[in-house]
Structure 1
Amino acid sequence: MFILFLLLQLFPLASETLLPGRPECSLAAHSYRTNIQPGDLVIGAFLQLSEIFVTHKFSFSAKPTKVLCTLVTFRYYRHYLAFLFAVEEINRSSQILPNITLGYQIHDSCGAEPKALSGALDLMSGMKHKIPNFSCWRNNKMVGVLGDLATSTTFIMAQFLGIFRYPQISYGATDPIFNDRTQFPSFYRTIPDEEAEVDGIVQILKHFGWKWVGLIVSDDATGFRAWERLTYALASYNGCIAFSSVLKYNFHINSDHENNIFQEIEKTTANVIVLLVTIKYTYSLAHLFSMYKMPQKLWIASSFFPNVMAYRHEELETALNGSLSLIVQEGEIPTFEQFFYRFSPKANDELTRDTWEKLFNCFFSDSNSNLRYILGDTYKTCTGNETLNAADVSVYGNQNYRVTYRVYTAVYALARALHNLYSAQPLANHWDKLESLKNKVKPWQIPQSLCNEPCAPGSRKSKREGELSCCYDCIKCVDGEMSNITDAPGCSKCPEDRKSNLQRTDCIPKTITYISYMDSMGFGLTTITLILFFAVYAVFTIFLKYWHTPIVRANNQHLSCLILISLMLCSLCTLLFIGRPTQICCLLRQITFGIVFTISVSSVLAKTLTVIIAFNATKPGSKLKKYVGTQLAIILVIVCCLAEMGISVGWVASYPPYVEADMISEKDIIILQCNEGSVAFFFCIIGYIGTLALLSFIAAFLAKDFPDRFNEAKNITFSMLGFCSVWGAFVPAYLSTKGSRMVAVEIFAILSSSAGLLGCIFLPKCFIIFLRPEMNTKKLLS
């Protein structure tokens, strides 16, 4: 309503206009290129057939100068012919508006808002002085308006025409504001709005993973809306705008502005640049690409792009080769090409006459062109019989009918609406004539357009301080973490039983390890165990063979055999420590080791005490005679073993050992081992055996000075000294090691202490048996 109020203030009152004489204030008349054809029903059409040549800013303090336009541009001239063709086709048809002739009044809007508004007033009033809502047309029914191509001119017409509910169909305006039915109740269009185009471009960028893009927009509301929508959409998938430039409209050269845009394009690291400009700015864009040698980039444009390519220039075509563009689906216009090439100018068709003079470099004899008078007699006269063949129009671009088809469709939409009003029949579907869009794009190498290369799987993004979120460094995941996607925001920690592979792209199972019979350590320990076992067994066999010899019978031969048997069992019990741990092995190995070693050490203690008692029993009046013999020794061994068994039962009952997977000691390895359940009970057994060994050492040390026939005490002293040294060193070594090395340390302690007992106590006897048989006599021992 504000527009209407403003117009009423500017225009003279209708009553004053009808009076003779010139009104004090009137709207300045604009000159148009027009084509008027009367009819029963008249369609007004505003088609942009030329471009603004000179524009001035409105100061609102002085009268604006007139808008100057270029000659009719051929790529727009096809829209004009499509309009004429559609009207003629409908007038010939018996299916649409039979017995009704459509007329038209066509204006060249020139893409200028003043001409668009002035022309809309002319359509409604029909006279030189414009009177809103008052028509001076005779027998002329204006039923609707078609136009315009540019959003700016369409908008100003829609505001005015919507007041009087005149239907308006645009074939090029993409502004989403036209979707507002309250503000534009009678506005329609045959093109999607610009939001759909921006969303389409975003889908392309997202599909190819282009997150670092440049942006050039037109210096109008459409450009800034597109900039906001694209920026927001890019941020939704972590994309960024590398640079953004505003393309200003100027038909003439503005070298500073163009150079600034070129500098932005040249220095950017983005390989993809989006062009979102309206059709009004196509010349400015074409001029920019024609004047500068653009770097190799991939350009993505909205549906205005074919209009840019219509400007034939080598630099332009080279720079834009391989670009992507959204296009509005074109449809078939049957027999339009025949109409196009046989068309010739009519006397009242100044639009075609201007085009003819431009195409054929001639002038009509009645032409008012200033250039005709300048050239004088040197000009060529247009006959009107010239024809549009392919050679004449090829320089103006390819014959695509996308925009042309939208004009054709708009005329038919208005005609079918009128037909339905007259016949009250359902609206026919004209779109069934469209063909499916065929994809003819050949395979090509998809370029990358990112601020930096994407972070490969196995790494994570690390934001650079002070830069956009699209610019980041790639940090490789640390050991134990992984990422299996590109541009991962962070690395995921692997579960405890898994480790990251070398590429840090997956978590793989950790290697399970234990002391196996097959690995070098396990094989070596097993070999030593078997050697020791057979060595003890050999000594045991020797003792059995020489059972009745003095050297074997001396110092209680039964205890000697018991010690040898326990040493064989000690060596074999180490095999429980080798191999894959099981629950039974974990329960048996420490208990077996403790009991067998207790038997061995307690037997040595009993042997030493037997020697001491036997020596002291020979003294007169000694009461120890009743303790001489094997009975005391056997009781002592049994009591010591029962105490050890009591400790073991308490251990198993309260804190039984169990199988444990150690994932901490070795970073990339799972060590299967036996957890002792209670370290206190384990060292209690070690301490108990150590106590027995210490007592044996003390007893043997006291008996070392007995006569030579009882010199076994010296051997026991050295064996217990070695035994205590081994197990004394075992404790700190065991506590300072982890994993499989703990088991190896214990096996080594068992084998070395067993070998010490064997070597110190029994090998000297074997030496006498085989190498000093003369010493193995009763005479020498008595």
Structure 2
Amino acid sequence: MPVSVLVAVQLLNGEEPLFYKGTNCSQSGVVMGVVGDSGSTPSISMSRIFGSFNIPLVSSFSTCACLSDKQQFPSFFRTIPSDHYQADALAKLVKHFGWTWIGVVHSNSDYGNDGIASFLKAVVREGICVEYTESFFRTDPRSSIQRVADVIRRSTAKVVVAFTAVGDMKVLLEELALDLPSPRQWIASEAWVTDPNLMSFSFCAGAIGVAIQRSVIPGLRDFLLNISPSELAASSVLTEFWEDAFNCKLNESLDSDKRVCDGTETLQSLKNPYTETSQLRVTNMMYKAVFAMAHAIHNAVCKEINATIQCDKHIKLEPKQVFTELKKVNFSKNGYQVSFDANGDPVAFYELVNWQRGESGSIELVTVGYYDASLPKGQEFHINRNITWAYGGTQVPVSMCSKNCPPGTRKVLQKGKPICCYDCIPCPEGEISNMTNSPDCFSCSREFWPNAEKDACFPKPVEFLSFDESLSIILAAFSVGGACLAIITLVIFFRHRKSPIVRANNSELSFLLLFSLTLCFLCSLTFIGEPSEWSCMLRHTAFGITFVLCISCVLGKTVMVLMAFKATLPGNNVMKWFGPPQQRITVVILTFFQVLICIVWLILSPPFPMKNLNTYKEKIILECALGSAIGFWVVLGYIGLLAVFCFILAVLARKLPDNFNEAKMITFSMLIFCAVWITFIPAYVSSPGKFTVAVEIFAILASTFGLILCIFAPKCFIIVFQPQKNTKKYLMNKN
């Protein structure tokens, strides 16, 4: 840096050895502009000095992002992109290959410190974690270099980003070569990725990084290969180059063991970096810088008048004029556009290069893609060729603090560690995550439920008591069987309707009772199948009306037994008040009340099909909602009231002296009926899902079977198997 300051002062002073402190400064050889320096640190020092005098400084290799600050460096320009873009490109490169756990080393210089600061900001935006950040300089003590090398060896990160200068990187790689670490994927900055000398470190094969765009400068190779002998003698630098390239001496020297050049040496046969002009990168940046300065001076001196260019050779040119014109430079040279933005920076364009082993076994530099900052966001980064990875691998290496959390799990950060270090926790019941590394699980909508892997929501299965289930088939079989039993009983009674046992038990009410029992059995079928608006209304009303009809008939038979006994007492004429017409009217009135209750229920708040999402989390129960719970319990309560009243009357008549006294059997049937429906209430309330319907069907069938078996089974047994008892004589035989 002191040398750069000295050079800057000398240029300002017209390259004279004296520095004038007075007001009468020398004006000989005033500098209009400067091309250089290459390094960022010297450029910072020189630009601070030149900026005060509006003297433009155009650099070809100073990449520090700090130089874009026009308040500090107003007259600084460069043809190489700022490290701000390089840092962004490197961060996108790391993100592109899925690396979230990396190590970082950088030069302890303006280039390295500012570059890595930009890079660290970029990786934070990309969600990448840095295990370590180490800085060093090539002149540091070896212990410092060893410490950095040991950090790399011990780290768990398989990817190392090196934002270093060539000299610094060479020192680090030499130290690592003494004790090679496990395979590391090197990500290189443009400063060292294209250096041919570093490619001799074979353990860095597979390195990938951003490089300055290469170019072939027209005529340069011919110029370099056509150096004349007179030019060699006139330049000590060319003389030294020649003698080193061909290992000979141009002049005899007693103190040298080298042979004397015999004149057969030719640059055309030389193969070294000097003759390799197809990989010019930084040289092209210098080429553009010189032409940018030339265009600025030309535009300041020459003007276009009447479609002709006229130049004023006697103009007193000021550095400020060149500075002003340099801002407006915009031309194409050698296939590349040259211009500067408001910060004095060019459009950022990088090649993505990869260190690949050639057929000879040596490492070669291969361009595999590019990064163009002028493209829309998200499209700047492109890879168009296969990449060779660390140690010649063909698979992208993995560098993560924790493995990716698969769908169905969520990330939980590990305490005290970066955000890239986490545990994978399965989603709780009812929640899913459908992407990798999900930070949270979320619930499915109410009608959906997670699959077994908890990575997708599927519609919940809809459950109802369908006809194809075993339970439904059993219940339906009992229902149809009960209806058939009632019909068979009806046929038996009809065929023996004139027999004493049938006539003695009020055949008209018996036929009506058997008909209602048949309907009771069949109404249970309406509870099976998918609930619909009509089936929901039908099942409850049909159940309520048929059961009231049934109980009304039983009640009529019970009252008739009581009245018949009282009618046998002397002077009692009660049977004329309870003959067949009165029995029919009683049954109709009692049933009509239930019909009226059902009509009111259906009008005000009828049952309706609904999806029950609360009983089970993982499935939907399709059931009939009661609509009005009061209506349901009034219907059920009315049935219960009639059943209890009938039971009381049957108990009162159970000991009447009659061989065919039905009161005993009615008592048992009502006892079963009441027991079934009393136990039904808690079972109905506590049964989940479709089993609520099954409980209701069971109660209907159990109570109906109780009625038909207790009331009609003994009579049918006598009619079919003991016909000798089906006589008037046996009927009149009182106990």
Same fold (TM over 0.5): yes
Q: Hey, what's the Cα distance between the residues in 1 that align with 2:41 and 2:520?
A: 101
Q: Quick check: 2:104–2:134 contact (8 Å CA) kept in 1?
A: yes
Q: Quick check: 2:91–2:126 contact (8 Å CA) kept in 1?
A: no
Partner of residue 345, structure 2: none
Partner of residue 327, structure 1: 211
Partner of residue 346, structure 1: 232
Correspondent of 1:293 among 180, 202, 215: 180
Q: Hey, what's the Cα distance between the residues in 2 that align with 1:737 and 1:711?
A: 39
Deviation per residue, 1:726-749 (Å, 9 max, x gap): 112111111111210000000011
> 1:659 is paired with a residue of what secondary structure?
strand
Correspondent of 2:68 among 164, 179, 182: 179
Q: Quick check: 2:162–2:187 contact (8 Å CA) kept in 1?
A: yes
Q: Hey, what's the Cα distance between the residues in 2 that align with 1:385 and 1:188?
A: 45
Q: Quick check: 2:414–2:421 contact (8 Å CA) kept in 1?
A: yes
Q: How does 1:258-273 map to 2 (within 5 A)?
A: 258-273=145-160
Superposition deviation, residue 750 in structure 1? 0.3
The change in CA–CA distance for 1:524 and 1:495 in structure 2 (over 3 A counts) is: same
> 1:424 is paired with a residue of what secondary structure?
strand
* The 10-residue stretch of structure 1 (609-618 or 265-274) with the greater mean CA deviation from structure 2: 265-274
> 1:448 is paired with a residue of what secondary structure?
coil
Partner of residue 2, structure 2: 114
Mapped pair 1:528 → 2:478: yes
Mapped pair 1:634 → 2:584: yes
Mapped pair 1:761 → 2:711: yes
Q: Hey, what's the Cα distance between the residues in 2 that align with 1:350 and 1:525?
A: 113
Deviation per residue, 1:56-93 (Å, 9 max, x gap): xxxxxxxxxxxxxxxxxxxxxxxxxxxxxxxxxxxxxx
Superposition deviation, residue 232 in structure 1? 2.6
Partner of residue 90, structure 1: none
Q: Hey, what's the Cα distance between the residues in 2 that align with 1:458 and 1:396?
A: 60
Superposition deviation, residue 403 in structure 1? 0.9
Superposition deviation, residue 170 in structure 1? 0.7
Deviation per residue, 1:494-542 (Å, 9 max, x gap): 1100111222222111111211112222222222211111111111111
Partner of residue 547, structure 1: 497
Q: Hey, what's the Cα distance between the residues in 1 that align with 2:24 and 2:269?
A: 46
> 2:412 is paired with a residue of what secondary structure?
strand
The change in CA–CA distance for 1:292 and 1:130 in structure 2 (over 3 A counts) is: farther
Q: Quick check: 1:342–1:387 contact (8 Å CA) kept in 2?
A: no
Partner of residue 716, structure 1: 666
The change in CA–CA distance for 1:163 and 1:407 in structure 2 (over 3 A counts) is: same
Superposition deviation, residue 666 in structure 1? 1.9
Superposition deviation, residue 150 in structure 1? 0.8
> 1:393 is paired with a residue of what secondary structure?
coil
Q: Quick check: 2:79–2:288 contact (8 Å CA) kept in 1?
A: yes
Residue 239 of structure 1 aligns with an amino acid whose one-letter code is I
Q: Quick check: 2:14–2:31 contact (8 Å CA) kept in 1?
A: no
Q: Quick check: 2:83–2:118 contact (8 Å CA) kept in 1?
A: no
Mapped pair 1:747 → 2:636: no
Correspondent of 2:574 among 624, 634, 638: 624
The change in CA–CA distance for 1:485 and 1:377 in structure 2 (over 3 A counts) is: closer
Partner of residue 408, structure 1: 287
Mapped pair 1:707 → 2:657: yes
Q: Hey, what's the Cα distance between the residues in 2 that align with 1:237 and 1:185?
A: 32
The change in CA–CA distance for 1:161 and 1:287 in structure 2 (over 3 A counts) is: farther
The change in CA–CA distance for 1:693 and 1:629 in structure 2 (over 3 A counts) is: same
Q: Hey, what's the Cα distance between the residues in 2 that align with 1:186 and 1:235?
A: 32
Correspondent of 1:698 among 648, 653, 656: 648
Residue 265 of structure 1 aligns with an amino acid whose one-letter code is I
Q: Hey, what's the Cα distance between the residues in 2 that align with 1:763 and 1:596?
A: 21
Deviation per residue, 1:643-697 (Å, 9 max, x gap): 3233323433443212110112122211110011233432332232222222222
Partner of residue 40, structure 1: none
Structure 2 alignment gaps of length 5 or more: 310-328, 338-348, 352-366, 370-383, 388-393
Q: How does 1:131-530 map to 2 (within 5 A)?
A: 131=20, 142-250=31-139, 254-279=141-166, 281-313=168-200, 316-318=201-203, 320-343=204-227, 346-362=232-248, 365=251, 376-381=255-260, 386-388=265-267, 392-393=271-272, 400-424=279-303, 429-431=331-333, 433-434=335-336, 439=369, 441-442=385-386, 444-530=394-480
Q: Hey, what's the Cα distance between the residues in 2 that align with 1:354 and 1:419?
A: 36
Correspondent of 1:727 among 673, 677, 681: 677
Superposition deviation, residue 278 in structure 1? 3.7
> 1:213 is paired with a residue of what secondary structure?
strand
Q: Hey, what's the Cα distance between the residues in 2 that align with 1:262 and 1:399?
A: 34
> 1:326 is paired with a residue of what secondary structure?
strand
Q: Hey, what's the Cα distance between the residues in 1 that align with 2:166 and 2:263?
A: 31
> 2:272 is paired with a residue of what secondary structure?
helix
The change in CA–CA distance for 1:396 and 1:283 in structure 2 (over 3 A counts) is: farther
Deviation per residue, 1:316-354 (Å, 9 max, x gap): 232x21222111111221232233334466334233334
The change in CA–CA distance for 1:422 and 1:384 in structure 2 (over 3 A counts) is: farther
Structure 1 alignment gaps of length 5 or more: 1-112, 367-371
Deviation per residue, 1:575-632 (Å, 9 max, x gap): 1111111111112211111111011112111101101110111111224242342233
Q: Hey, what's the Cα distance between the residues in 2 that align with 1:338 and 1:117?
A: 36
The change in CA–CA distance for 1:419 and 1:387 in structure 2 (over 3 A counts) is: farther
* The 10-residue stretch of structure 1 (485-494 or 423-432) with the greater mean CA deviation from structure 2: 423-432
Q: Hey, what's the Cα distance between the residues in 1 that align with 2:225 and 2:425?
A: 65
Partner of residue 381, structure 2: none
Superposition deviation, residue 148 in structure 1? 1.4
RMSD: 2.8
Identity %: 34
Deviation per residue, 1:391-419 (Å, 9 max, x gap): 65269999620111112222222223333
Q: Hey, what's the Cα distance between the residues in 2 that align with 1:176 and 1:388?
A: 40
Q: Hey, what's the Cα distance between the residues in 2 that align with 1:611 and 1:181?
A: 117
Deviation per residue, 1:7-56 (Å, 9 max, x gap): xxxxxxxxxxxxxxxxxxxxxxxxxxxxxxxxxxxxxxxxxxxxxxxxxx
Superposition deviation, residue 757 in structure 1? 0.9
The change in CA–CA distance for 1:227 and 1:406 in structure 2 (over 3 A counts) is: closer
Superposition deviation, residue 703 in structure 1? 1.8
* TM-score of the aligned structures, taking structure 1 as reference length: 0.78
> 1:542 is paired with a residue of what secondary structure?
helix
Residue 400 of structure 1 aligns with an amino acid whose one-letter code is Q
The change in CA–CA distance for 1:470 and 1:384 in structure 2 (over 3 A counts) is: farther
Q: Quick check: 1:614–1:628 contact (8 Å CA) kept in 2?
A: no
Aligned length: 657
> 1:461 is paired with a residue of what secondary structure?
strand
